[in-house]
Amino acid sequence: SMAAHVRGCRCSSLFLSSFFAGGKKIVGVFYQAGEYADKNPDFVGCVEGALGIRDWLESNGHHYIVTDDKEGLNSELEKHIEDMHVLITTPFHPAYVTAERIKKAKNLELVLTAGIGSDHIDLLAAAAAGLTVAEVTGSNTVSVAEDQLMRILILLRNFLPGYQQVVKGEWNVAGIAHRAYDLEGKTVGTVGAGRIGRLLLQRLKPFNCNMLYHDRIRINPELEKEIGAKFEEDLDVMLPKCDVIVINTPLTEKTRGMFNKEKIAKMKKGVIIVNNARGAIMDTQAVADACSNGYIAGYGGDVWFPQPAPKDHPWRYMPNHAMTPHTSGTTIDAQLRYASGVKDMLDRYFKGEDFPVENYIVKEGELASQYK
């Protein structure tokens, strides 16, 4: 039978694509798990886990290729650009979907982000090419907000030097205590108060700090009152008031490189900054310089530009940082939510149905409001 022949054919990928005439070629780019792949059955966000949708896709006649090899013309991703129909990317190991790649991708219809934040895609080029770009809105907002709160505390309490002392066999209370502070009574400002920013403010409330927020859109009055944060229309007026500044804006043409030397100079000397939004919102060298000369007392986050961060990235070596690889939004809980959201959108795409409206980043040539 035809099916037996397909199973028996070793070089069946070409044959399969004609056999399943209605099948789509789907490419997923995720981080490689290696030795950690089988440590947790719910670890679906890696290449090996492949979002847990391989069997479902293949049993429906689709061709599914996953890789972590994304950079340059000789990458595995590049081999599939010309004939893929759907590309699934993730912010944690971003495939940079440039205008050149979009131009080459003759069959591409849909680009899905497993997570939130689609700035690794040239959105204007995607809109011009008539592509749909969508992400799993809300899938990891709690994960990121929790992590921001953790980093605020880690930096304020000067935790990492204490940990390092213990590991090195040292003991020096003064070395930690001379720059350790309570969160209570401090002024914390968030630049951006969307889903993550609001969740962070809600979680900060019991710490009895003074909360400010700056955004294009004011939070509705009831929620604003319930959260207890004060709206600051002018960012430059908010910055000098803050002991802690948290970045919660998407990366857009307007926010790219926004926190440069001049903006940092408007902050309080001894400020703590947490940025789990996007690395490119900051001027990399300006942050490293301000940490080195003590103007910034601590900088923490999990986002870099580019990603993975090169070995010589200045943020690796600056003092008083609480940096990690891009991990906050890819907890196991978050992976399960964004994997399920991707599957739901693929299912709707195969059936010709619309996605949940808040998931669209580019639709019919239009960019979502936050990227305009």
Catalytic residues: 140, 278, 307, 326
According to the annotation, is 196 in a ligand binding site? yes
Let me know: does 276 contact 304? Beta carbons within 8 Å: no
- The greatest distance separating any two alpha carbons of the chain, rounded to the nearest whole angstrom, comes to 78
| Residues near 210 by beta carbon (within 8 Å), at least 6 away in sequence | 185, 186, 187, 188, 230
According to the annotation, is 55 in a ligand binding site? no
According to the annotation, is 324 in a ligand binding site? no
**Element containing residue 133 per DSSP (H, E):** strand 132-135
* Whether the bond into 308 is cis, omega within 30 of 0: yes
* Phi, psi at 323, each rounded to 5°: -95, 145
Given the structure tokens 């022949």, which residue do they identify?
5
Residue type (1 letter), 18: S
* Whether the bond into 206 is cis, omega within 30 of 0: no
Query: Strand pairing of 360-363 and 366-367?
Result: antiparallel
According to the annotation, is 222 in a ligand binding site? no
According to the annotation, is 215 in a ligand binding site? yes
According to the annotation, is 187 in a ligand binding site? no
According to the annotation, is 190 in a ligand binding site? no
The number of beta carbons lying within 10 Å of the beta carbon of residue 300 is: 24
According to the annotation, is 235 in a ligand binding site? no
Can you list the positions of beta strands (E) in 57-119? 63-67, 86-89, 110-113
According to the annotation, is 251 in a ligand binding site? yes
According to the annotation, is 143 in a ligand binding site? no
Residue type (1 letter), 353: E
What would the two tokens of residue 336 be? Answer: 């399960």
Residue 127's closest CA among 369, 368, 366? Answer: 366
Q: How far is it, in rounded angstroms, from Cα 86 to Cα 134?
A: 11
According to the annotation, is 151 in a ligand binding site? no
Query: Strand pairing of 110-113 and 321-323?
Result: unpaired
Can you list the positions of beta strands (E) in 183-335? 187-191, 210-214, 229-231, 244-247, 271-275, 296-301, 321-323
| Residues flagged as binding site for NAD(+) | 141, 195-196, 215, 250-254, 276, 302, 326-329
Residues of each annotated binding site: 116, 140-141, 195-196, 215, 250-254, 276, 302, 326-329
Q: Which residues are annotated as a binding site for substrate?
A: 116, 140
